[in-house]
């Protein structure tokens, strides 16, 4: 199974700040990497697919990059609604696996 290691697990940040969340796969995943946002009520919102493609309706302040085993999600300027949990997920090979999550919280 491919292990996904997400860092940091918790990130205090301020409004307007630029933040980056990292995700490392235990083996190469050929850019088959998704990012999700989860709010406290459990709602899951897909943000990015195939490393760097924004899902429909996702603001342009979100971006994704990476290759091989190392990937990242960047939010260029934090808005109040961005404080949430974030997860990466690989879909290169079964079983599809997720990172442990990053809790982006207001400093």
Q: In angstroms, how far is the first alpha carbon of the chain from the final one?
A: 36
Per rule CB under 8 A, is residue 55 in the interface with other proteins? yes
Yes or no: say if 3 and 98 are a contact pair by the CB < 8 Å rule.
Answer: no
Identified binder of other proteins from the candidate list 67, 79, 100, 105, rule CB under 8 A: 100
CA–CA gap between residue 33 and residue 103 (Å, rounded): 19
| Residue 95 makes contact with other proteins by CB under 8 A | yes
96 contributes a contact to other proteins by CB under 8 A: yes
* Residue 101 lies near other proteins (rule: CB under 8 A): yes
> Footprint of other proteins on this chain (CB under 8 A)?
34, 36, 42-46, 49, 55, 87, 89, 91, 94-101
């Amino acid at each position: 199974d491919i292990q996904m290691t997400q860092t940091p697990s918790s990130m205090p940040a301020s409004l307007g700040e630029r933040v980056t969340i990292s995700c490392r796969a235990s083996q190469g995943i050929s850019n088959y990497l998704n990012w999700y946002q989860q709010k406290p009520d459990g709602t899951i919102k897909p943000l990015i697919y195939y490393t760097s493609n924004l899902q429909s309706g996702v603001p342009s302040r979100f971006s994704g990059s990476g290759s091989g085993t190392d990937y990242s999600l960047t939010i260029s300027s934090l808005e109040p609604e961005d404080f949430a949990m974030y997860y990466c997920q690989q879909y290169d090979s079964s079983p599809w696996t997720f990172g442990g999550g990053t809790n982006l919280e207001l400093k």
